Structure 1
Amino acid sequence: EIEAIAREEMRHLDWLAETIVELDGVPSLERGKMRMDGKSVADWMRNDVLQEEDGINLYREHIKLIDKPKIKRLLERILSDEESHHGDFKHFVDKAQKEGAKDVRGSRTDRVVQTLNWGIEHEYTVILQYLFQSYMTTNEEAKEELQDQAINEMQHLGWLAEKIVDISGNPRIEHTEVDRSTRTADMLQADIKIEQEVAAAYDRAAKETEDPGLKKLLLRIRDHEIYHTEVFSDLLKEEEHQG
Protein backbone atom coordinates (compact mmCIF):
# COMPACT_ATOMS: atom_id res chain seq x y z
CA GLU A 1 0.00 0.00 0.00
CA ILE A 2 2.82 2.40 0.85
CA GLU A 3 4.59 1.51 -2.41
CA ALA A 4 1.44 2.52 -4.31
CA ILE A 5 1.46 5.88 -2.53
CA ALA A 6 5.15 6.30 -3.39
CA ARG A 7 4.35 5.66 -7.06
CA GLU A 8 1.71 8.40 -6.94
CA GLU A 9 4.26 10.76 -5.39
CA MET A 10 6.67 9.94 -8.22
CA ARG A 11 3.93 10.89 -10.67
CA HIS A 12 3.58 14.22 -8.87
CA LEU A 13 7.32 14.77 -9.19
CA ASP A 14 7.12 14.14 -12.94
CA TRP A 15 4.23 16.56 -13.41
CA LEU A 16 5.87 19.30 -11.37
CA ALA A 17 9.29 18.90 -12.98
CA GLU A 18 7.84 18.96 -16.48
CA THR A 19 5.84 22.08 -15.63
CA ILE A 20 8.99 23.79 -14.31
CA VAL A 21 10.81 23.03 -17.56
CA GLU A 22 7.86 24.37 -19.58
CA LEU A 23 8.30 27.61 -17.62
CA ASP A 24 12.02 27.67 -18.59
CA GLY A 25 13.10 26.65 -15.11
CA VAL A 26 15.36 23.87 -13.83
CA PRO A 27 13.89 21.25 -11.47
CA SER A 28 15.53 21.10 -8.04
CA LEU A 29 17.07 17.84 -6.82
CA GLU A 30 17.30 18.99 -3.23
CA ARG A 31 15.65 16.62 -0.77
CA GLY A 32 13.09 18.25 1.47
CA LYS A 33 12.76 17.88 5.20
CA MET A 34 12.23 14.29 6.27
CA ARG A 35 10.91 12.96 9.56
CA MET A 36 13.02 9.89 10.25
CA ASP A 37 12.67 9.55 14.02
CA GLY A 38 10.38 7.11 15.80
CA LYS A 39 10.97 3.73 17.41
CA SER A 40 7.97 1.83 16.08
CA VAL A 41 6.12 1.33 12.81
CA ALA A 42 3.20 3.30 14.25
CA ASP A 43 5.62 6.18 14.93
CA TRP A 44 6.78 6.07 11.31
CA MET A 45 3.19 6.24 10.09
CA ARG A 46 2.55 9.23 12.39
CA ASN A 47 5.55 10.92 10.80
CA ASP A 48 4.02 10.28 7.39
CA VAL A 49 0.74 11.82 8.55
CA LEU A 50 2.66 14.95 9.56
CA GLN A 51 4.61 14.91 6.29
CA GLU A 52 1.35 14.86 4.34
CA GLU A 53 -0.04 17.68 6.47
CA ASP A 54 3.02 19.77 5.59
CA GLY A 55 2.46 19.10 1.89
CA ILE A 56 -1.27 19.79 2.07
CA ASN A 57 -0.70 23.15 3.75
CA LEU A 58 1.92 24.17 1.18
CA TYR A 59 -0.23 23.18 -1.79
CA ARG A 60 -3.23 25.06 -0.40
CA GLU A 61 -1.06 28.15 0.08
CA HIS A 62 0.40 27.91 -3.43
CA ILE A 63 -3.02 27.43 -5.00
CA LYS A 64 -4.17 30.70 -3.43
CA LEU A 65 -1.11 32.58 -4.72
CA ILE A 66 -0.99 31.25 -8.30
CA ASP A 67 -3.32 32.73 -10.90
CA LYS A 68 -2.40 30.58 -13.94
CA PRO A 69 -5.36 28.20 -14.47
CA LYS A 70 -3.27 25.31 -15.83
CA ILE A 71 -0.86 25.32 -12.88
CA LYS A 72 -3.62 25.89 -10.34
CA ARG A 73 -5.49 22.91 -11.79
CA LEU A 74 -2.37 20.73 -11.52
CA LEU A 75 -1.78 21.69 -7.90
CA GLU A 76 -5.42 21.01 -7.05
CA ARG A 77 -5.08 17.57 -8.65
CA ILE A 78 -1.99 16.81 -6.55
CA LEU A 79 -3.65 18.20 -3.41
CA SER A 80 -6.47 15.71 -3.87
CA ASP A 81 -3.96 12.84 -3.78
CA GLU A 82 -2.17 14.25 -0.73
CA GLU A 83 -5.43 14.51 1.19
CA SER A 84 -6.13 10.87 0.33
CA HIS A 85 -2.62 9.85 1.41
CA HIS A 86 -3.13 11.69 4.70
CA GLY A 87 -6.16 9.53 5.41
CA ASP A 88 -4.29 6.39 4.37
CA PHE A 89 -1.44 7.03 6.79
CA LYS A 90 -3.84 7.75 9.66
CA HIS A 91 -5.35 4.35 8.93
CA PHE A 92 -1.88 2.79 8.87
CA VAL A 93 -1.17 4.22 12.35
CA ASP A 94 -4.18 2.37 13.74
CA LYS A 95 -3.38 -0.77 11.76
CA ALA A 96 0.25 -0.84 12.95
CA GLN A 97 -0.86 -0.47 16.55
CA LYS A 98 -3.52 -3.19 16.34
CA GLU A 99 -1.24 -5.65 14.55
CA GLY A 100 1.82 -4.85 16.64
CA ALA A 101 3.91 -4.19 13.53
CA LYS A 102 7.62 -4.20 14.39
CA ASP A 103 10.81 -2.79 12.95
CA VAL A 104 12.47 -5.78 11.24
CA ARG A 105 15.79 -4.07 10.55
CA GLY A 106 18.89 -5.40 12.28
CA SER A 107 22.29 -4.09 13.31
CA ARG A 108 24.53 -6.10 10.97
CA THR A 109 27.21 -3.84 9.49
CA ASP A 110 29.73 -6.21 7.89
CA ARG A 111 31.23 -5.99 4.40
CA VAL A 112 28.17 -7.58 2.78
CA VAL A 113 25.83 -4.92 4.19
CA GLN A 114 28.32 -2.19 3.28
CA THR A 115 28.43 -3.46 -0.30
CA LEU A 116 24.65 -3.53 -0.55
CA ASN A 117 24.37 -0.03 0.91
CA TRP A 118 26.94 1.13 -1.63
CA GLY A 119 24.61 -0.31 -4.28
CA ILE A 120 21.65 1.59 -2.83
CA GLU A 121 23.69 4.80 -2.89
CA HIS A 122 24.50 4.28 -6.57
CA GLU A 123 20.94 3.38 -7.51
CA TYR A 124 19.49 6.40 -5.70
CA THR A 125 22.03 8.65 -7.43
CA VAL A 126 21.26 7.47 -10.95
CA ILE A 127 17.50 7.51 -10.33
CA LEU A 128 17.79 11.24 -9.65
CA GLN A 129 20.28 11.72 -12.48
CA TYR A 130 18.22 9.95 -15.14
CA LEU A 131 14.99 11.63 -14.10
CA PHE A 132 16.63 15.07 -14.13
CA GLN A 133 18.08 14.39 -17.57
CA SER A 134 14.75 13.12 -18.88
CA TYR A 135 13.16 16.44 -17.90
CA MET A 136 15.93 18.55 -19.44
CA THR A 137 16.63 16.79 -22.75
CA THR A 138 14.82 17.75 -25.96
CA ASN A 139 15.55 14.33 -27.48
CA GLU A 140 12.28 12.42 -27.14
CA GLU A 141 13.86 8.99 -27.57
CA ALA A 142 16.47 9.75 -24.93
CA LYS A 143 13.75 11.09 -22.61
CA GLU A 144 11.79 7.84 -22.86
CA GLU A 145 14.85 5.64 -22.36
CA LEU A 146 16.11 7.67 -19.40
CA GLN A 147 12.75 7.33 -17.66
CA ASP A 148 12.64 3.59 -18.39
CA GLN A 149 16.12 3.05 -16.98
CA ALA A 150 15.27 5.19 -13.92
CA ILE A 151 12.36 2.85 -13.21
CA ASN A 152 14.69 -0.13 -13.54
CA GLU A 153 17.13 1.49 -11.09
CA MET A 154 14.22 1.93 -8.65
CA GLN A 155 13.70 -1.83 -8.85
CA HIS A 156 17.37 -2.38 -8.06
CA LEU A 157 17.19 -0.09 -5.04
CA GLY A 158 14.18 -2.01 -3.74
CA TRP A 159 15.86 -5.39 -4.24
CA LEU A 160 19.03 -4.27 -2.46
CA ALA A 161 17.15 -2.70 0.47
CA GLU A 162 15.02 -5.82 0.92
CA LYS A 163 18.13 -8.01 0.85
CA ILE A 164 19.75 -5.89 3.55
CA VAL A 165 16.70 -6.27 5.79
CA ASP A 166 16.61 -10.02 5.06
CA ILE A 167 20.16 -10.41 6.39
CA SER A 168 19.51 -8.23 9.48
CA GLY A 169 21.06 -5.02 8.20
CA ASN A 170 19.77 -1.46 7.95
CA PRO A 171 19.32 0.13 4.48
CA ARG A 172 20.87 3.60 4.14
CA ILE A 173 19.02 5.75 1.60
CA GLU A 174 21.55 8.37 0.56
CA HIS A 175 22.99 9.50 -2.77
CA THR A 176 26.22 10.93 -4.12
CA GLU A 177 26.73 13.82 -6.54
CA VAL A 178 24.31 13.89 -9.46
CA ASP A 179 25.49 14.92 -12.92
CA ARG A 180 23.44 17.95 -13.98
CA SER A 181 24.48 18.26 -17.60
CA THR A 182 21.88 19.93 -19.80
CA ARG A 183 23.35 19.00 -23.19
CA THR A 184 22.06 15.55 -24.22
CA ALA A 185 25.42 14.24 -25.46
CA ASP A 186 27.07 15.26 -22.18
CA MET A 187 24.29 13.57 -20.22
CA LEU A 188 24.75 10.30 -22.08
CA GLN A 189 28.53 10.37 -21.77
CA ALA A 190 28.20 10.77 -18.00
CA ASP A 191 25.64 7.95 -17.87
CA ILE A 192 27.81 5.57 -19.86
CA LYS A 193 30.76 6.26 -17.58
CA ILE A 194 28.86 5.60 -14.37
CA GLU A 195 27.14 2.50 -15.76
CA GLN A 196 30.46 0.98 -16.86
CA GLU A 197 31.98 1.63 -13.45
CA VAL A 198 29.08 0.21 -11.51
CA ALA A 199 28.69 -2.87 -13.72
CA ALA A 200 32.33 -3.71 -12.97
CA ALA A 201 31.77 -3.08 -9.26
CA TYR A 202 28.72 -5.37 -9.13
CA ASP A 203 30.73 -8.03 -10.96
CA ARG A 204 33.55 -7.83 -8.39
CA ALA A 205 31.06 -7.96 -5.51
CA ALA A 206 29.37 -11.03 -7.01
CA LYS A 207 32.73 -12.82 -7.26
CA GLU A 208 33.56 -12.02 -3.64
CA THR A 209 30.35 -13.30 -2.03
CA GLU A 210 29.74 -16.93 -1.12
CA ASP A 211 25.99 -16.40 -0.69
CA PRO A 212 24.33 -17.99 -3.78
CA GLY A 213 21.23 -15.82 -3.53
CA LEU A 214 23.21 -12.61 -3.20
CA LYS A 215 25.52 -13.62 -6.05
CA LYS A 216 22.51 -14.21 -8.29
CA LEU A 217 21.04 -10.81 -7.37
CA LEU A 218 24.28 -8.91 -7.97
CA LEU A 219 24.84 -10.59 -11.33
CA ARG A 220 21.29 -9.82 -12.40
CA ILE A 221 21.75 -6.14 -11.56
CA ARG A 222 25.16 -6.17 -13.27
CA ASP A 223 23.55 -7.46 -16.46
CA HIS A 224 20.95 -4.70 -16.31
CA GLU A 225 23.69 -2.08 -15.92
CA ILE A 226 25.49 -3.48 -18.97
CA TYR A 227 22.23 -3.19 -20.89
CA HIS A 228 21.88 0.44 -19.78
CA THR A 229 25.41 1.13 -21.05
CA GLU A 230 24.54 -0.28 -24.46
CA VAL A 231 21.27 1.68 -24.68
CA PHE A 232 22.99 4.94 -23.75
CA SER A 233 25.84 4.23 -26.19
CA ASP A 234 23.38 3.80 -29.06
CA LEU A 235 21.60 7.01 -28.09
CA LEU A 236 24.92 8.88 -27.94
CA LYS A 237 25.86 7.71 -31.44
CA GLU A 238 22.51 8.91 -32.79
CA GLU A 239 22.78 12.22 -30.95
CA GLU A 240 26.30 12.88 -32.24
CA HIS A 241 25.26 11.91 -35.77
CA GLN A 242 22.33 14.33 -35.70
CA GLY A 243 24.51 17.04 -34.18
Structure 2
Amino acid sequence: MTEIFEAVRKDIADEHAAIIQYLYHAYSTPDEEIRGKLESIARDEMRHFKWLNEWLVKHGQKPAIERSSLVSTGTLKSLIEADIKAEIDAISQYIDHKAMTDDKELIALIDRIIADERSHRTEFEKLLEELESKASAESDNPSGPSEGPALGAHEAALLQQALEHEYTSLLQYLYHYFTTGGSDEYEDFSIDEMKHFGWFAEALAERGYQPLLEHKVGEVKTAPEDAAKSNLSLEEEAIRKFSEAREKIRDGEVKEIFELALEHENYHAFSLKKMLEKLEKASGKKFTVGSLKELKDKEK
Protein backbone atom coordinates (compact mmCIF):
# COMPACT_ATOMS: atom_id res chain seq x y z
CA MET A 1 0.00 0.00 0.00
CA THR A 2 3.00 2.31 0.47
CA GLU A 3 3.12 3.14 -3.24
CA ILE A 4 -0.51 4.22 -3.46
CA PHE A 5 -0.20 6.28 -0.27
CA GLU A 6 2.68 8.20 -1.85
CA ALA A 7 0.68 8.59 -5.07
CA VAL A 8 -2.28 10.05 -3.16
CA ARG A 9 0.07 12.39 -1.30
CA LYS A 10 1.32 13.61 -4.68
CA ASP A 11 -2.28 14.13 -5.81
CA ILE A 12 -3.02 16.13 -2.65
CA ALA A 13 0.06 18.33 -3.12
CA ASP A 14 -1.05 19.00 -6.70
CA GLU A 15 -4.62 19.79 -5.59
CA HIS A 16 -3.19 22.22 -3.02
CA ALA A 17 -1.14 23.87 -5.78
CA ALA A 18 -4.20 24.04 -8.05
CA ILE A 19 -6.22 25.81 -5.34
CA ILE A 20 -3.57 28.48 -4.88
CA GLN A 21 -2.75 28.77 -8.59
CA TYR A 22 -6.39 29.40 -9.49
CA LEU A 23 -6.76 31.92 -6.66
CA TYR A 24 -3.61 33.73 -7.80
CA HIS A 25 -5.13 33.94 -11.28
CA ALA A 26 -8.48 35.07 -9.90
CA TYR A 27 -6.80 37.92 -8.00
CA SER A 28 -4.81 38.89 -11.12
CA THR A 29 -7.82 39.97 -13.19
CA PRO A 30 -10.29 42.83 -12.74
CA ASP A 31 -12.91 40.82 -14.67
CA GLU A 32 -15.49 39.81 -12.04
CA GLU A 33 -16.97 37.03 -14.20
CA ILE A 34 -13.59 35.37 -14.79
CA ARG A 35 -12.67 35.81 -11.14
CA GLY A 36 -15.89 34.13 -10.07
CA LYS A 37 -15.31 31.12 -12.36
CA LEU A 38 -11.73 30.68 -11.12
CA GLU A 39 -12.78 30.89 -7.47
CA SER A 40 -15.55 28.33 -8.09
CA ILE A 41 -13.08 25.87 -9.63
CA ALA A 42 -10.67 26.49 -6.74
CA ARG A 43 -13.45 25.48 -4.33
CA ASP A 44 -13.83 22.18 -6.24
CA GLU A 45 -10.11 21.56 -5.79
CA MET A 46 -10.51 22.24 -2.06
CA ARG A 47 -13.07 19.46 -1.90
CA HIS A 48 -10.65 17.08 -3.68
CA PHE A 49 -7.94 18.07 -1.19
CA LYS A 50 -10.28 17.26 1.70
CA TRP A 51 -11.61 13.96 0.29
CA LEU A 52 -8.15 12.58 -0.47
CA ASN A 53 -6.84 13.53 2.96
CA GLU A 54 -9.84 11.86 4.58
CA TRP A 55 -9.02 8.68 2.64
CA LEU A 56 -5.38 8.82 3.80
CA VAL A 57 -6.33 9.30 7.45
CA LYS A 58 -8.93 6.52 7.27
CA HIS A 59 -6.08 4.19 6.30
CA GLY A 60 -3.87 5.21 9.21
CA GLN A 61 -1.79 7.82 7.39
CA LYS A 62 -0.99 11.39 8.36
CA PRO A 63 -2.79 14.10 6.35
CA ALA A 64 -0.78 15.92 3.69
CA ILE A 65 -0.56 19.71 3.54
CA GLU A 66 2.45 20.04 1.24
CA ARG A 67 2.13 22.01 -2.00
CA SER A 68 3.53 21.39 -5.49
CA SER A 69 4.94 24.15 -7.71
CA LEU A 70 2.54 26.49 -9.48
CA VAL A 71 2.28 29.25 -12.09
CA SER A 72 1.45 32.64 -10.57
CA THR A 73 2.48 35.29 -13.13
CA GLY A 74 1.94 36.03 -16.82
CA THR A 75 -0.67 37.44 -19.16
CA LEU A 76 -4.25 36.47 -18.45
CA LYS A 77 -4.19 34.35 -21.59
CA SER A 78 -1.02 32.52 -20.55
CA LEU A 79 -2.42 31.95 -17.04
CA ILE A 80 -5.55 30.28 -18.43
CA GLU A 81 -3.36 28.19 -20.74
CA ALA A 82 -1.38 27.09 -17.66
CA ASP A 83 -4.66 26.16 -15.97
CA ILE A 84 -5.68 24.00 -18.94
CA LYS A 85 -2.30 22.22 -18.79
CA ALA A 86 -2.71 21.68 -15.04
CA GLU A 87 -6.06 19.98 -15.60
CA ILE A 88 -4.75 17.81 -18.44
CA ASP A 89 -1.80 16.72 -16.31
CA ALA A 90 -4.08 16.04 -13.34
CA ILE A 91 -6.42 13.84 -15.38
CA SER A 92 -3.48 11.82 -16.74
CA GLN A 93 -1.97 11.41 -13.26
CA TYR A 94 -5.25 10.33 -11.69
CA ILE A 95 -5.74 7.70 -14.42
CA ASP A 96 -2.24 6.35 -13.70
CA HIS A 97 -2.84 6.31 -9.95
CA LYS A 98 -6.21 4.61 -10.34
CA ALA A 99 -4.43 1.70 -12.06
CA MET A 100 -2.21 1.29 -8.97
CA THR A 101 -4.98 0.27 -6.57
CA ASP A 102 -7.85 -2.16 -6.12
CA ASP A 103 -9.37 -0.12 -3.27
CA LYS A 104 -12.96 0.36 -4.45
CA GLU A 105 -13.51 3.48 -2.35
CA LEU A 106 -10.41 5.17 -3.74
CA ILE A 107 -11.25 4.14 -7.30
CA ALA A 108 -14.74 5.65 -6.97
CA LEU A 109 -13.26 8.82 -5.48
CA ILE A 110 -10.70 9.15 -8.28
CA ASP A 111 -13.43 8.65 -10.89
CA ARG A 112 -15.43 11.48 -9.30
CA ILE A 113 -12.37 13.75 -9.23
CA ILE A 114 -11.48 12.97 -12.84
CA ALA A 115 -15.01 13.96 -13.86
CA ASP A 116 -14.53 17.30 -12.09
CA GLU A 117 -11.12 17.88 -13.68
CA ARG A 118 -12.51 17.20 -17.16
CA SER A 119 -15.27 19.71 -16.47
CA HIS A 120 -12.67 22.24 -15.29
CA ARG A 121 -10.60 21.70 -18.43
CA THR A 122 -13.68 22.43 -20.55
CA GLU A 123 -14.43 25.57 -18.52
CA PHE A 124 -10.88 26.84 -18.97
CA GLU A 125 -10.95 26.07 -22.70
CA LYS A 126 -14.16 28.10 -23.03
CA LEU A 127 -12.58 30.95 -21.07
CA LEU A 128 -9.57 30.90 -23.39
CA GLU A 129 -11.82 31.02 -26.46
CA GLU A 130 -13.67 34.00 -24.99
CA LEU A 131 -10.42 35.82 -24.28
CA GLU A 132 -9.09 35.19 -27.77
CA SER A 133 -12.32 36.48 -29.32
CA LYS A 134 -12.25 39.77 -27.42
CA ALA A 135 -10.64 42.65 -29.28
CA SER A 136 -9.27 44.19 -26.09
CA ALA A 137 -5.86 44.94 -24.69
CA GLU A 138 -6.55 42.80 -21.64
CA SER A 139 -6.16 39.55 -23.57
CA ASP A 140 -2.71 40.55 -24.87
CA ASN A 141 -1.16 42.64 -22.10
CA PRO A 142 0.20 41.37 -18.79
CA SER A 143 -2.66 40.96 -16.38
CA GLY A 144 -2.64 43.09 -13.30
CA PRO A 145 -4.81 43.91 -10.32
CA SER A 146 -7.71 46.25 -10.76
CA GLU A 147 -7.68 49.88 -9.78
CA GLY A 148 -9.12 50.50 -6.36
CA PRO A 149 -8.95 52.89 -3.44
CA ALA A 150 -5.42 54.00 -2.58
CA LEU A 151 -3.69 51.90 0.05
CA GLY A 152 -0.35 52.77 1.59
CA ALA A 153 2.53 50.31 1.59
CA HIS A 154 2.36 49.92 5.37
CA GLU A 155 -1.37 49.16 5.23
CA ALA A 156 -0.78 46.69 2.40
CA ALA A 157 1.87 44.99 4.56
CA LEU A 158 -0.69 44.59 7.35
CA LEU A 159 -3.11 42.97 4.91
CA GLN A 160 -0.39 40.67 3.59
CA GLN A 161 0.57 39.67 7.14
CA ALA A 162 -3.08 38.89 7.91
CA LEU A 163 -3.40 36.88 4.69
CA GLU A 164 -0.38 34.75 5.56
CA HIS A 165 -1.71 34.17 9.06
CA GLU A 166 -5.10 33.02 7.77
CA TYR A 167 -3.50 30.65 5.23
CA THR A 168 -1.45 29.15 8.07
CA SER A 169 -4.50 28.86 10.34
CA LEU A 170 -6.57 27.32 7.56
CA LEU A 171 -4.04 24.54 6.97
CA GLN A 172 -3.55 23.88 10.68
CA TYR A 173 -7.29 23.62 11.29
CA LEU A 174 -7.65 21.23 8.35
CA TYR A 175 -4.79 19.09 9.67
CA HIS A 176 -6.46 18.89 13.08
CA TYR A 177 -9.84 18.21 11.47
CA PHE A 178 -8.30 15.13 9.85
CA THR A 179 -6.32 13.96 12.90
CA THR A 180 -8.65 14.60 15.87
CA GLY A 181 -11.69 12.62 14.85
CA GLY A 182 -13.10 15.05 12.30
CA SER A 183 -14.08 17.78 14.76
CA ASP A 184 -16.95 19.78 13.28
CA GLU A 185 -15.63 22.88 15.03
CA TYR A 186 -12.26 22.61 13.32
CA GLU A 187 -13.97 22.20 9.96
CA ASP A 188 -16.13 25.27 10.66
CA PHE A 189 -13.10 27.28 11.77
CA SER A 190 -11.18 26.30 8.62
CA ILE A 191 -14.10 27.57 6.50
CA ASP A 192 -14.02 30.89 8.39
CA GLU A 193 -10.26 31.19 7.84
CA MET A 194 -10.74 30.48 4.14
CA LYS A 195 -13.25 33.34 3.97
CA HIS A 196 -10.79 35.68 5.70
CA PHE A 197 -8.06 34.50 3.33
CA GLY A 198 -10.25 35.51 0.38
CA TRP A 199 -11.23 38.87 1.90
CA PHE A 200 -7.65 39.91 2.56
CA ALA A 201 -6.38 38.69 -0.82
CA GLU A 202 -9.15 40.45 -2.75
CA ALA A 203 -8.65 43.66 -0.76
CA LEU A 204 -4.99 43.67 -1.79
CA ALA A 205 -5.70 42.84 -5.44
CA GLU A 206 -8.43 45.47 -5.73
CA ARG A 207 -6.05 48.12 -4.40
CA GLY A 208 -3.21 47.47 -6.80
CA TYR A 209 -1.17 44.87 -4.91
CA GLN A 210 -0.43 41.27 -5.90
CA PRO A 211 -1.25 39.07 -2.88
CA LEU A 212 1.47 36.61 -1.90
CA LEU A 213 -0.19 33.31 -1.04
CA GLU A 214 2.32 31.78 1.38
CA HIS A 215 1.99 30.16 4.81
CA LYS A 216 4.16 29.35 7.83
CA VAL A 217 2.89 25.97 8.96
CA GLY A 218 5.59 24.21 10.96
CA GLU A 219 5.33 21.03 13.02
CA VAL A 220 1.65 20.43 13.71
CA LYS A 221 0.73 18.98 17.12
CA THR A 222 -1.81 16.16 16.93
CA ALA A 223 -2.74 15.24 20.53
CA PRO A 224 -6.21 16.78 21.16
CA GLU A 225 -5.13 19.03 24.04
CA ASP A 226 -1.92 20.12 22.30
CA ALA A 227 -3.88 20.79 19.11
CA ALA A 228 -6.42 22.95 20.95
CA LYS A 229 -3.68 24.89 22.76
CA SER A 230 -1.74 25.44 19.54
CA ASN A 231 -4.89 26.66 17.77
CA LEU A 232 -5.74 28.96 20.67
CA SER A 233 -2.25 30.41 20.47
CA LEU A 234 -2.79 31.13 16.75
CA GLU A 235 -6.16 32.74 17.46
CA GLU A 236 -4.77 34.97 20.19
CA GLU A 237 -1.99 36.04 17.83
CA ALA A 238 -4.62 36.86 15.18
CA ILE A 239 -6.69 38.85 17.68
CA ARG A 240 -3.64 40.89 18.66
CA LYS A 241 -2.52 41.50 15.06
CA PHE A 242 -6.00 42.29 13.74
CA SER A 243 -6.73 44.66 16.63
CA GLU A 244 -3.52 46.57 15.92
CA ALA A 245 -4.18 46.60 12.16
CA ARG A 246 -7.73 47.88 12.64
CA GLU A 247 -6.37 50.94 14.44
CA LYS A 248 -3.76 51.67 11.76
CA ILE A 249 -5.85 51.09 8.62
CA ARG A 250 -7.40 54.25 7.11
CA ASP A 251 -9.34 52.56 4.28
CA GLY A 252 -12.88 52.17 5.64
CA GLU A 253 -13.70 48.97 3.70
CA VAL A 254 -10.46 47.28 4.77
CA LYS A 255 -11.05 48.35 8.37
CA GLU A 256 -14.47 46.66 8.23
CA ILE A 257 -12.85 43.44 6.95
CA PHE A 258 -10.49 43.41 9.91
CA GLU A 259 -13.36 44.11 12.31
CA LEU A 260 -15.46 41.19 10.99
CA ALA A 261 -12.48 38.81 10.92
CA LEU A 262 -11.66 39.89 14.47
CA GLU A 263 -15.17 39.00 15.66
CA HIS A 264 -14.77 35.54 14.12
CA GLU A 265 -11.36 35.05 15.77
CA ASN A 266 -12.77 36.09 19.15
CA TYR A 267 -15.45 33.43 18.77
CA HIS A 268 -12.87 30.82 17.76
CA ALA A 269 -10.78 31.67 20.82
CA PHE A 270 -13.81 31.42 23.12
CA SER A 271 -14.78 28.05 21.63
CA LEU A 272 -11.23 26.71 21.92
CA LYS A 273 -11.08 27.67 25.59
CA LYS A 274 -14.31 25.77 26.18
CA MET A 275 -12.89 22.82 24.24
CA LEU A 276 -9.75 22.87 26.38
CA GLU A 277 -11.78 22.95 29.58
CA LYS A 278 -13.62 19.79 28.51
CA LEU A 279 -10.46 18.02 27.37
CA GLU A 280 -8.53 18.86 30.51
CA LYS A 281 -11.44 17.99 32.76
CA ALA A 282 -11.58 14.59 31.09
CA SER A 283 -7.84 14.09 31.58
CA GLY A 284 -7.81 15.45 35.15
CA LYS A 285 -5.69 18.49 34.23
CA LYS A 286 -6.47 22.13 34.82
CA PHE A 287 -6.12 24.73 32.09
CA THR A 288 -4.40 27.92 33.22
CA VAL A 289 -3.00 31.03 31.59
CA GLY A 290 0.41 29.84 32.74
CA SER A 291 0.08 26.52 30.97
CA LEU A 292 -0.76 28.29 27.71
CA LYS A 293 2.16 30.71 28.16
CA GLU A 294 4.48 27.76 28.71
CA LEU A 295 3.25 26.23 25.46
CA LYS A 296 3.78 29.51 23.58
CA ASP A 297 7.34 29.78 24.95
CA LYS A 298 8.10 26.27 23.70
CA GLU A 299 6.78 27.10 20.25
CA LYS A 300 8.95 30.21 19.85
Normalised by the shorter chain, which TM-score bucket? Answer: over 0.9
Which residue type is aligned with residue 123 of structure 2? Answer: D
Q: Under a length normalisation based on structure 1, what TM-score does the superposition of the two structures give?
A: 0.92
1:129 is matched with: 172
Moved more, 48-57 or 89-98: 89-98
Which residue type is aligned with residue 133 of structure 2? Answer: K
Tell me the alpha carbon deviations over residues 20-55 of structure 1, each in whole angstroms, 9 at most, x when there is no partner: 0111001221101212242x2111111111111111
Question: Gaps spanning 5+ residues in structure 1: where?
Answer: none
Once residues 104 and 180 of structure 2 are traced to their aligned partners in structure 1, the CA distance between those partners, rounded to angstroms, is 26
Deviation at 1:96, TM superposition (A): 2.6
Which residue type is aligned with residue 187 of structure 1? Answer: A
1:66 is matched with: 101
Deviation at 1:216, TM superposition (A): 1.8
Tell me the alpha carbon deviations over residues 112-154 of structure 1, each in whole angstroms, 9 at most, x when there is no partner: 111111111001111110001100002x5xx101111111111
Tell me the alpha carbon deviations over residues 66-98 of structure 1, each in whole angstroms, 9 at most, x when there is no partner: 112221111111111111111111111122333
The answer to whether the Cα contact below 8 Å between 2:172 and 2:217 also exists between their aligned partners in 1 is no
Which residue type is aligned with residue 272 of structure 2? Answer: F
Once residues 112 and 132 of structure 1 are traced to their aligned partners in structure 2, the CA distance between those partners, rounded to angstroms, is 31
- In the alignment, which of 36, 43, 46 is matched to residue 10 of structure 1? 46
Deviation at 1:106, TM superposition (A): 7.0
1:192 is matched with: 232
- In the alignment, which of 177, 192, 201 is matched to residue 152 of structure 1? 192
The answer to whether the Cα contact below 8 Å between 1:36 and 1:47 also exists between their aligned partners in 2 is no
2:206 is matched with: 166
The answer to whether the Cα contact below 8 Å between 1:106 and 1:170 also exists between their aligned partners in 2 is no
Count of aligned positions? 239
Once residues 12 and 216 of structure 1 are traced to their aligned partners in structure 2, the CA distance between those partners, rounded to angstroms, is 32
Moved more, 231-240 or 125-134: 231-240
Which residue type is aligned with residue 53 of structure 2? Answer: A
The answer to whether the Cα contact below 8 Å between 1:63 and 1:72 also exists between their aligned partners in 2 is yes
Once residues 176 and 25 of structure 1 are traced to their aligned partners in structure 2, the CA distance between those partners, rounded to angstroms, is 22
Which residue type is aligned with residue 114 of structure 1? Answer: A
- In the alignment, which of 149, 158, 165 is matched to residue 115 of structure 1? 158
The answer to whether the Cα contact below 8 Å between 1:49 and 1:89 also exists between their aligned partners in 2 is yes
2:265 is matched with: 225
1:239 maps to 2:275: no
The answer to whether the Cα contact below 8 Å between 1:133 and 1:187 also exists between their aligned partners in 2 is yes
For the residue of structure 2 that corresponds to 1:65, the secondary structure is coil
1:201 maps to 2:238: no
2:124 is matched with: 89
The answer to whether the Cα contact below 8 Å between 1:126 and 1:178 also exists between their aligned partners in 2 is no
Question: Gaps spanning 5+ residues in structure 2: where?
Answer: 1-36, 284-300
The answer to whether the Cα contact below 8 Å between 1:199 and 1:222 also exists between their aligned partners in 2 is yes
